[in-house]
């Protein structure tokens, strides 16, 4: 007789890990902006995904997206009342980073990353 292991697997085991603010943290201004964007999109319990992808003038760039929930293998961090998720590969580049939001003509989200060896003038790409 064949037994399905999927049926016996507990449904309460999360497919993501929990981290802390040593990975990434938000300022109060960034947390307020992310919360308001999530609410506007009808996802008050959603998450902010922070990722690093190839590209930009310095070789690597940040990618941010609002999503409903963490994905498989993500690292979930609760910071300033907001849930932030980072995939394991991006975690290597963003560890120790702080995300801020500046209300200005040239403002927006700014990442202060201690791992960045250099960054471009626009602040959206970096090299490690």
Q: What's the confidence (pLDDT) of residue 116?
A: 86
Residue 59 scores a pLDDT above 70:
yes
For residue 47, what are the contacts with CB-CB under 8 A and spacing of at least 6?
A: 66, 67, 68, 69, 70, 76, 83, 84, 85
Name the DSSP class of 15: S
Please give the model's pTM, rounded to 2 decimal places.
0.82
Q: What's the confidence (pLDDT) of residue 121?
A: 60
CB atoms within 10 A of CB 6: 6
Residue 120 scores a pLDDT above 80:
no
More confident residue, 14 or 63: 63
pLDDT band at 107 (very low <50, low <70, confident <90, very high): confident
As a whole-number percent, the residues of the chain with pLDDT over 90 amount to 67
């Amino acid at each position: 007789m064949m037994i399905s292991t999927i049926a016996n697997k507990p449904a309460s085991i999360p497919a993501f890990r929990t981290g802390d603010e040593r990975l990434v943290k938000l300022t109060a201004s960034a947390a307020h902006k992310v919360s308001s964007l999530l609410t506007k999109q009808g996802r008050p319990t959603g998450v902010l995904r922070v990722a690093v992808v190839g590209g930009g003038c310095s070789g690597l760039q940040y990618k941010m997206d609002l999503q409903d929930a963490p994905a498989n293998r993500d690292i979930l961090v609760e910071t300033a009342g907001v849930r932030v998720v980072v995939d394991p590969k991006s975690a290597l580049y963003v560890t120790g980073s702080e995300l801020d939001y500046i209300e200005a003509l040239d403002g927006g989200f700014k990442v202060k990353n201690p791992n960045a060896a250099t960054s471009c003038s626009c602040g959206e790409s970096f090299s490690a």
